[in-house]
Every structure is written in C-alpha cells, then in structure tokens.
C-alpha cells in the first residue's frame, strides 16, 4: 500500500465531518449516520490493509513526508506522518471503536436533535485522533491533541441548553488548555535541548543527543507530563472528566473512555526513552497516578450517577496505565490501554442502552432492576463488569492486562526527590485498590439487577416501553454493537492471555478475594433490604457522606481547592484591576484633560483685546530682550 494511504486515514473522516457540517441538516437521518460510519469504517479497512505490510512487531515503519509544516530559519516542524507498530495498534483501536460507536450512535441519537453536528463532531474526533497518532513530530501531534480536545468540548456541550452543560464543557476546555501551556513549554525546551521535535529522530538519537543537555531534557520531561496529565485526567488535573459525562453516552464511551483520554499515555509511550533517563519524572508519574488510582476508585464506589461511576473507574484505570509507564513498561501500559478500551466501551455503551430505555434517567437508585427486560444489555453489562473487575482469566478483558501492569510494578523502583518507593509497595497498593473495582462494578450491577420495582421509569406508560410498561431495547444498531463488543471483549481476553505469562501463585489469592468481593457486593446491592442495612452501618462514618461533608461527597476537595486558590483570586484580581486600576488610570487621563481646559481658561484672560495692554506687554518684552542682548 502506498504511503499516501496514511494521509487518507485521517482524511476520510475529516472530509465526512466537513460534509456533515454543511449538509447535515438536509440529509435524511440514516444517510447522515451512514456517511459518518462509512468514513470511519473506511479508515478501519485501510488500517487493516497495513497489517500485511509487516509494520507490526519489529517491522519497518511506513512514512509519508509532505515537506515542512511550520518551518522557519530557526524552527522546523515537518508535515510528516509515520506508522509504526505502536501507531498501527492505536490506529486500529481508534478506527475499530470509532466505527462501532458511531454505528451505535445511529440508534442512540435517533430521537435527538442536531444530529448532523453530533456526527460531524464524532468524525472530526476520529480524524484528529488519527492525526495525533500518525504525526511524527510533537508540533503536529499538538494539532491532533487540540483537535481531539475541541471535539471533546463540542460534544460535551451537545445539550447546550441544559443547565450545567456549558460549565462542564468549559471545565474540560480550560483544564486541557492549562495542560497545553506545559505541553508547549515542554516542546520548546525539548527543541532547545535536541534541536528537533521529530519523534522518530528523538527516539533514534535521543540518548546520544542528551549528553550535555540533561537538565533541559529533564525539565522538558516534567513539562510534557503537565500536558499528558490534563489530557488523560490524572490528579490534580482530573477534575474535568466526571463533568464530561454531560455529553451523550456514545461520546463518553469513545472519547472519555476508550480513546482520547489515552492520548497522554500514548505521548509518554512515544517518549519512553526520555522518561527512562529521568527517575524524578517517573517519580512524579508514580505519585500522581497512585493518587488518581485511589481517588478514582473510592469516588466510583460512592457515586450514584451510572455514568459517573464509570467515569471515575476510567480515572482509576488510566492511572494504572501511568503506573505501568512509571515502572518503565510501555508494553504493559499499551496492553491495559487496549483491555480498558474493550471493557469500558462495552460498559458505557451498555449504560447508554439503559439510559435510552429508561428515558435518560441516570441515577442508579431509580434504575433498579432495569436490566431484567433488556437481555442484550444485561449480557453486555455482565461481560463488561467481569472484564473490568478482572474476575475470570481468558474471559475478562482486563484480567491479563492488569496482570501485566502488576508484574511490571513488582520489579520496579521509583527514586527521586529524595524519596524511594519500592515496587513491592506499589504492587500492594494497586492490588488492594484494584479489588475496589470488583466492588464498584458489582455495586452498579447489583442496582441494575435489583429485585425492587420502586423505580420510577417502570410505570411510565411511554412509547419506548413494551406492553407491560417495561423498558425495551428498541434500536437494532444498539443491540448489534453491544452484541459485537460482548463477543469481542472475551476474544481480546483470550488473545491477551497468550501475550502475558500467568503466574498462578501470584494471581490465585487476589482472584479468589475479588470473586468473593464481587459476589458479596452483588448480593448486598441487588436487594433493597440488605442495602438499607449496609447504609445504616455506613452512615456512622462521615467519610461516606454522613451530613454531606465527607471527603468523598466533596470529591476529595479538589474543586474547593481550585476555587479557593485559583478561580476566586483570579476573579478578585481581575475586578480589582478593573475597578481600581483601570478607573484610576482613565480617571487621571480625564483629569488631565480637565486641568488643560481650566488652564486654557486662565490663560485666555491675558487675551483681553485691550490695545494699550498689548502695547505695554510688547514694550516690556522688548526691554527684556534688549537687556539680555546688550548685556554681553
């Protein structure tokens, strides 16, 4: 296949996006969706065509050089696309999930408005993500990086007239832009140290060029982390991801779970040579990721919004990928990125099916027992939860991938800033926190499979329900995609089992513990009586939200701290500048005008029109002049 096909990969969805923006409102809905799916599927087919070209593994990468992109005397960034093993895996992931989720959206968005804009956004997202993955230099990556951010922003804001949605979109935009400042500074520092921003050149010669520039390179490594953390929602820049759930559910599945949020992981994978040199940077990754891991898992445990539970679980899983990177194992990070994409996309899409059937009800307490009449969604949920909790080897998409991360941690060690964290510690922390995933996923599943029929949705005689008033899976495309993914996730689990060696001795105890936790949690949450008992017991501890002041209900105070330290001071300073400084400044100018005016009124009195006075003044002046001239 010609290298020009590389250009076609992002071009298909990009052109489709443009077409949908302009003609989206005039096209029939199915045509609209068909175009969107077709464009992404075409990219997927094209990407499949690269597999026989021996790109995977140690094969030679395919490159396409289109000359300079932004290039001056002193600064060069080439318009160069490159597809190597990692790139091809990412392209396949993005286009596979992209086409499936776009197809799912045809069913999901049927009753919605502004569908043209929605599908254009999805297409543009895929195009940007492919640009990000295919770019060979950091500046061009930034194009894709910001492109996916833009699409994320636009799609979060899809329900723009609902309360809270504009703010959620704004937070996603703003937090990502904060990361971008660090990203840009990092790129410049890197360019200053190495004289190039090309990833392949850096990868090939970075370890030699670094000699003499260690300090700058180390700084660049830290700065680029800022960008990666913002995009991949790692603490302390994770605050936007839960809000991002304000967007339509397919968007959450594609952008905020399977693909975009992994961009930070991808970036660090591309620069792994840099991070292998700087233990300090890996220390920072380790600390932030561990924090995110714990915060995400604990918050997932207490949320009641079905999508937010999954969002916080995404945080936690992204942290797992970063931990693998901190341990120096890009392979494990990549594997978990894939495993997570499979089970999380499945879970989100299943949640979307529930939400659709229950008329956009998202509170799990009002969704009890909803799965009873949704057979395919039920299957998908079970496969997704088992996959996410890593309960059954060769069936759980997340089992072997988590195992790979854990194994990489076991042999690692973090040093830096005078701290030392041994791999054993990290291993234990992750092992414990990951067992929480069994808890929060089966808590969710317990609610949805509960016996109680007190949920409000069940009794509303609306068009979406069957004759008995129960919710139904109406949409064919939703059922189809859920079915495909419910099959694909275990297949991936089977495949991943061939990549990761299984140490039964390490795995067995945690496996049994997780199974027990999952079963117990499901047993408690699937009946209201046991649930009430549990809540009564828990209410004694303020951490769990007694009185609404615990750290869990306040989301560990991250928002409060940002408000107190950043938002309020900034606003106060702005108003201070406006009211005091700007007004004094402009007031002083006006005062100067007034003084000038007054002064001219005073001076006017000299001009009386009295000829005698003029003559006297002239005489006086002439006398003065004569005196000074004649004096010397």
Give me the residues that bind other proteins (CB under 8 A), please: 67-75, 79, 139, 142-143, 145-147, 150, 157, 160-163, 165-167, 169-170, 173-174, 177-178, 180-181, 184-185, 188-189, 191-192, 570-571, 573-575, 577-579, 582, 585-586, 589-590, 593
Strand pairing partners for 68? 78
CA distances from 508 to 90, 408, 442, 495 (A): 32, 18, 20, 20
Shortest distance in whole angstroms from residue 24 CB to other proteins:
12
H-helix segments, 396-475? 399-410, 423-448
With a CB cutoff of 8 Å and minimum separation 6, the contacts of 342 are 387, 397, 485, 488, 489, 492, 493
Which residue, 228 or 455, is less far from other proteins as judged by CB? Answer: 228
CB of 91 to other proteins, least distance (A): 20
Nearest to 399 by CA among 286, 322, 495, 265: 495
The minimum distance between CB 596 and other proteins, in angstroms, equals 9
Q: Which two tokens stand for residue 492?
A: 């991936």
Q: 603 exposed, middle or buried (CB, 10 Å; 0-12, 13-18, 19+)?
A: exposed
d(C-alpha 82, C-alpha 136), whole Å: 6
**Which residue number, 81 or 481, has a Cβ lying nearer to other proteins?**
81
For other proteins, the closer CB: 502 or 586: 586
Looking at the Cβ atoms of 573 and 615, the one nearer to other proteins is: 573
- Nearest CA to 373 among 316, 453, 434, 432? 453
DSSP string over 252-309: HHIIIIISGGGHHHHHHHHTHHHHHH-HHHHHHHHHHHHHHHHHHHHHHHH--BHHHH
Nearer to other proteins, 56 or 178 (CB): 178
To the nearest 10 degrees (0 to 180), the angle between helices 476-499 and 399-410 is: 40
Pick the closer one to other proteins by CB: 207 or 583: 583
C-alpha span between 213 and 220 (Å, rounded): 11
Question: Is the Cβ of residue 476 or residue 578 nearer to other proteins in the bound state?
Answer: 578
| Beta carbon of residue 59, minimum distance to other proteins (angstroms, whole number) | 30
CB of 264 to other proteins, least distance (A): 17
Least gap, CB of 71 to other proteins (angstroms): 7
Q: Is the peptide bond before 236 cis (omega within 30 degrees of 0)?
A: yes
DSSP at 494: H
Closest CB to other proteins among residues 29, 69: 69
Hunting for tokens 């999930």 — which residue is that? 97
Nearer to other proteins, 60 or 603 (CB): 603
CB of 121 to other proteins, least distance (A): 13
Q: Which is nearer to other proteins, 184 or 209 (CB)?
A: 184
Going by C-alpha positions, the residue among 305, 380, 352 that lies closest to residue 110 is 352
- The radius of gyration computed from the CA coordinates of the chain, to the nearest angstrom, equals 31
Closest CB to other proteins among residues 159, 447: 159
**Rounded distance between C-alpha atoms, residue 358 and residue 349, angstroms:** 14
Could you give the CA distance from residue 382 to residue 445 in angstroms, rounded to a whole number? Answer: 8
Shortest separation between residue 186's beta carbon and other proteins, angstroms: 11
Least Å distance between CB 153 and other proteins? 9
Nearer to other proteins by Cβ, of 23 and 69: the residue is 69
Provide the phi-psi class of 21: left if phi over 0, else alpha when psi is between -120 and 50, else beta. Answer: alpha
Name which of 234, 222, 451, 456 is nearest 333 in CA terms.
234
Whole-number Å distance between alpha carbons of 625 and 629: 6
Q: How far is the CB of 50 from other proteins (least distance, A)?
A: 24
- The distance of closest approach from Cβ of residue 190 to other proteins in the complex, given in angstroms and rounded to an integer, is 11
Specify the 3-state DSSP secondary structure of 66: strand
Report, in Å, the least distance between residue 579 CB and other proteins: 8
Which CB sits closer to other proteins, 176 or 290? 176
- Tokens linked to 144: 């894709």
- Minimum separation from the CB atom of position 174 to other proteins (A): 5
Q: Which two tokens stand for residue 453?
A: 């029929």
């Amino acid at each position: 296949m010609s290298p020009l096909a590389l250009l076609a990969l992002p071009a298909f969805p990009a052109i489709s996006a443009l077409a949908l923006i302009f003609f989206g409102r005039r096209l029939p809905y199915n045509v609209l969706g068909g175009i969107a799916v077709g464009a992404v599927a075409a990219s997927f087919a094209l990407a499949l065509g690269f597999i026989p070209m021996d790109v995977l593994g140690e094969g030679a990468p395919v490159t396409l050089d289109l000359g300079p992109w932004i290039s001056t005397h002193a600064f060069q960034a080439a318009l160069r696309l490159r597809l190597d093993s990692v790139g091809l895996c990412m392209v396949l992931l993005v286009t596979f999930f992209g086409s499936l989720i776009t197809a799912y959206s045809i069913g999901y968005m049927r009753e919605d408005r502004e569908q043209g804009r929605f599908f254009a956004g999805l297409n543009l997202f895929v195009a940007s993500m492919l640009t990000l993955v295919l770019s060979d230099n950091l500046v061009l990556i930034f194009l894709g990086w910001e492109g996916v951010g833009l699409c994320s922003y636009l799609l979060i804001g899809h329900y723009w007239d609902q309360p809270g949605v504009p703010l959620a979109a704004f937070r996603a935009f703003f937090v990502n832009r904060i990361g971008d400042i660090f990203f840009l500074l990092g790129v410049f520092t890197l360019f200053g140290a190495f004289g190039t921003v090309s990833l392949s050149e850096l990868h090939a010669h970075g370890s030699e060029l670094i000699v003499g520039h260690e300090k700058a390179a180390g700084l660049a490594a830290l700065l680029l982390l800022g960008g990666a953390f913002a995009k991949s929602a790692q603490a302390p820049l994770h605050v936007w991801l839960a809000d991002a759930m304000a967007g339509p559910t397919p968007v959450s599945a594609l952008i905020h779970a399977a693909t975009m949020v992994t961009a930070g992981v991808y970036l660090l994978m591309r620069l792994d040579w840099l991070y292998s040199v700087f233990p300090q940077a890996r220390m920072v990754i380790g600390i932030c990721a561990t924090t995110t891991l714990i915060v995400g898992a604990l918050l997932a445990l207490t949320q009641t919004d079905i999508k937010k539970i999954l969002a916080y679980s995404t945080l936690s899983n992204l942290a797992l990928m970063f931990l693998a990177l901190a341990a120096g194992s890009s392979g494990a990070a990549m594997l978990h990125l894939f495993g997570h994409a499979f089970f999380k996309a499945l879970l989100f899409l299943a949640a979307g099916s529930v939400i659709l059937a229950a008329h956009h009800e998202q509170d799990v307490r009002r969704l009890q027992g909803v799965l009873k009449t949704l057979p395919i969604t039920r299957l998908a949920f079970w496969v997704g939860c088992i996959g996410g909790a890593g309960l059954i080897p060769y069936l759980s998409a997340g089992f072997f991938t988590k195992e790979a991360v854990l194994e990489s941690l076991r042999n690692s060690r973090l040093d830096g800033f005078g701290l030392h964290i041994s791999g054993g510690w990290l291993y234990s922390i992750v092992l414990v926190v990951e067992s929480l995933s069994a808890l929060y996923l089966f808590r969710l599943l317990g609610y949805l499979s509960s016996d109680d029929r007190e949920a409000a949705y069940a009794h509303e005689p609306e068009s979406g329900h069957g004759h008995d008033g129960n919710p139904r899976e109406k949409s064919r495309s939703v059922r189809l995609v859920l079915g495909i993914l419910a099959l694909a996730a275990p297949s991936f689990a089977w495949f991943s089992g061939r990549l990761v060696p299984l140490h039964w001795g390490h795995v067995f105890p945690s496996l049994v513990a997780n199974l027990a936790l999952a079963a117990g949690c499901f047993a408690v949450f699937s009946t209201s009586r046991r649930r009430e008992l549990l809540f009564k017991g828990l209410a004694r501890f303020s951490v769990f939200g007694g009185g609404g002041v615990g750290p869990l209900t306040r989301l560990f105070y991250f928002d409060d701290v940002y408000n107190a330290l950043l938002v309020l001071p900034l606003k106060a300073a702005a108003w201070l500048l406006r009211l005091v400084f700007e007004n004094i400044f402009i007031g002083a100018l006006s005062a100067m005008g007034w003084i000038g005016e007054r002064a001219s009124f005073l001076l006017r009195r000299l001009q009386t029109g009295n000829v005698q006075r003029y003559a006297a003044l002239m005489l006086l002046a002439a006398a003065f002049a004569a005196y000074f001239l004649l004096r010397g």
